[in-house]
């Protein structure tokens, strides 16, 4: 069960009031491959075996001023001794600015998730614990981490993701960019708008990739008919590169018409459906 989608979907599945950790078990010896700490339905921290020094490197890289290792050692020791969240202590002491600290914590979390998700059949256990009061600005939604991990695994596709979504912004409720992976499955590499559940976002990407694979885009007449027939919410999918597709959810006919016109002007193949492939959040 230890793959990235399953692990982040498991975070989605925890009731918001719960606090605890998802523990990815290793081999039969009882070793722990990694841990993901969860609070209020968000990921606060992830750790993987063999990566103890990586966060220190990331803090150095994301600090606006040179950091003294002795200062970091002192913070790490206080974190272990008082069980206070590390991000809170670093922010309190002003060692790293908020933006740099969030970037370092996010990168560390993404790398730790990738390290413990090798795709093998490993069990994941939920271990409840008391709330520690992580600062919300230093925690991450599951789909934010999913897209960040995808961007790290598919950097070329990720580089063009935001530009490919320009046509849908800011008219969309939610939108995502998906690299087509080695096994032809959509991999989220960028998201914007409402925070959807991991499996719902991927299902939207599956729909767009499959529809574009079948017909390589609707004709202009069919797209105009879809706009005219729109009575509620619609999904639109398009391709901006050979292995990069995008999908967005739109709730206004005028917004859909604008997006379709933009895609037509850019000669990008597009599909539209009034049957949203996933439930709206």
Q: For the whole model, what pTM was predicted?
A: 0.89
Does residue 130 belong to any structural domain of this protein? yes
**Do 132 and 226 belong to one domain?**
no
Give the domain extent around 195: 144-273
Q: Spell out the per-residue pLDDT of the chain, length 281, in tens.
A: 348 899 999 999 999 889 999 998 876 666 788 899 999 999 998 988 777 789 999 999 998 888 888 989 999 999 888 888 888 888 888 888 999 999 999 999 999 999 888 776 678 889 998 766 788 889 999 999 999 999 999 999 998 887 777 766 666 778 899 999 888 899 999 998 777 899 999 999 999 999 999 999 999 999 999 999 888 889 999 999 999 999 999 888 888 898 899 899 989 999 999 877 666 55
104 in the same domain as 175: no
What DSSP line would sit under the chain, residue for residue?
--SHHHHHHHHHHS-TT-EEEEEEE-STT--EEEEEEEETTEEEEEEETT-TTHHHHHHHHH-SSPPPHHHHHHHHHHHHHH---HHHHHHHHTSS-HHHHHHHHHHHHHHHHHHH--SS---EEEEE-------GGG-B-HHHHHHHHHHHH-HHHHHTHHHHHGGGTTT-SEEEEEEE-TTS-EEEEEEEES---HHHHHHHHHHHHHHHHHHSS--HHHHHHHHHH--S-EEEEEEEETTEEEEEEE--HHHHHHHHHHHHHTT--EEEESS-SS---
Confirm whether 52 is domain-assigned.
Answer: yes
Does residue 202 lie within any of the structural domains?
yes
Is residue 222 situated within a structural domain?
yes
Q: Are residues 86 and 158 in the same domain?
A: no
On whether both 120 and 150 belong to a single domain, the answer is no
Residue 132 inside a domain? The answer is: yes
* Domain final residue pick, 125, 140, 155: 140
Query: What CATH number does the domain containing 173 carry?
Result: 3.30.450
Domain identity same for 104 and 201: no
Domain assignment of residue 77, yes or no: yes
Q: Domain for residue 258, yes or no?
A: yes
């Amino acid at each position: 069960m230890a793959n990235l989608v399953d692990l982040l979907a498991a975070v989605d599945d925890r009731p918001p009031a719960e606090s605890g950790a998802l523990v990815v078990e290793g081999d039969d010896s009882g070793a722990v491959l990694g841990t993901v700490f969860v609070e209020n339905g968000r990921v606060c921290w992830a750790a993987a075996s063999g990566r103890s020094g990586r966060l220190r490197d990331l803090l150095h890289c994301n600090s606006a001023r040179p950091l003294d290792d002795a200062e970091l050692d002192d913070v790490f020791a206080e974190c272990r001794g008082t069980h206070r969240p590390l991000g809170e202590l670093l922010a309190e002491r002003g060692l790293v600015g908020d933006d740099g600290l969030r970037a370092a914590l996010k990168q560390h979390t993404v790398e730790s998730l990738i390290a413990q998700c090798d795709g093998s059949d490993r069990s994941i256990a939920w271990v409840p614990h008391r709330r520690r009061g992580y600062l919300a600005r230093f925690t991450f939604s599951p789909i934010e981490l999913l897209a960040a991990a995808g961007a790290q695994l598919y950097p070329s596709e990720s580089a063009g993701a935001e530009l490919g979504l320009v046509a849908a912004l800011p008219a969309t409720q939610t939108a995502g960019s998906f690299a087509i992976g080695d096994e032809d499955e959509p991999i989220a590499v960028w998201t914007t708008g409402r925070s959807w559940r991991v499996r719902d976002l991927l299902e939207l990407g599956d729909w767009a990739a499959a529809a574009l694979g079948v017909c390589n885009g609707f004709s202009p007449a069919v797209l105009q008919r879809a706009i005219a027939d729109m009575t509620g919410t619609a999904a639109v999918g398009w391709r901006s590169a050979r292995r990069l597709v995008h999908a967005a959810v739109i709730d206004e006919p005028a917004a859909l018409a604008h997006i379709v016109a933009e895609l037509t002007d850019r000669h990008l193949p597009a599909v539209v459906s009034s049957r949203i492939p996933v439930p709206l959040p």
